[in-house]
Amino acid sequence: MSRLFERLRGGLVVSCQALPDEPMHGCMPAMARAAIEGGACGVLANGGNDIARIRAAVDAPLIGVLTQVYPDCEIALTPTLVEIDQVAQAGADMAGLDASERRRPGGQRLADFYAAIRKRHPGLRLMAEVATTVEALRAQALGFDCVSSAALGHTQATRGQRLPDDDFAAFRRMRRAVDGCLLVAEGGIDTPQQAARALQLGADFVVIGSAITRPQNITARFVGEMKAIER
């Protein structure tokens, strides 16, 4: 196993992302430092600017993604070589990309995209973000270094599903099938107990975003519980 995956295995990766209209936009390097100080083993960042700034701020494994919408496709997460180039040049150790069955830019096949990345960036590790066991197996067969469950709930076939549902039933199915690469629990994990359960069920590492890095969401949960109390 590579040194990168040795550092990630069994740990927590914090997804440090904030949209332009969110209060924490521009503050992700500080958020990344706080995550590492709290014991996170790595960081996930979105966009070349944030990846580069976080790379300079923390000495930890860094997964990079880049959201870009194209008019002729159904995916937006690191969809073409243009975004892969930016992620690699910004200093990410690994690129995360949508590997679901949804339509890609120009109708490109995932296998062709994967081959093109490996040719251009042979040292860049690749994480496939999928929604189903079938997609996970396809990613494993192609040679992805790890597979993430992050797309669960975001595709037509899995709409409305959440990773922790039914004691992580969808993830357990993926774990039984995937044995040739690392499997990452990502998406909809809201509590420390859920993160620990994902590890118990065989996750090689866990990625958590909003439950840690969006204070407005965290505050709203507290306020909602307090308002529910009858006075």
> What is the pLDDT of the chain when averaged over all its residues?
96
> In the prediction, which pLDDT does 230 show?
67
Q: In angstroms, what CA-CA distances link 99 with 31, 46, 116, 172, 225? A: 28, 17, 14, 19, 37
> In the prediction, which pLDDT does 120 show?
98
Which pTM value belongs to this model? 0.96
Q: What percent of the chain has pLDDT over 90?
A: 96
Backbone angles phi, psi at 152, to 5 degrees: -60, 130
In this structure, of 155-159, 198-202, 227-231, the range with the lowest mean pLDDT score is 227-231
| CATH superfamily entry for domain 3-227 | Aldolase class I (3.20.20.70)
pLDDT tens-digit map of 57-98: 999 999 999 999 999 899 999 999 999 999 999 999 999 999
Residue among 211, 207, 7, 14 at smallest CA distance from 127: 207
Pairing of strands 146-148, 182-186: parallel
> In the prediction, which pLDDT does 159 show?
95
> In the prediction, which pLDDT does 136 show?
98
Where do the structural domains in the chain lie, given as residue ranges?
3-227
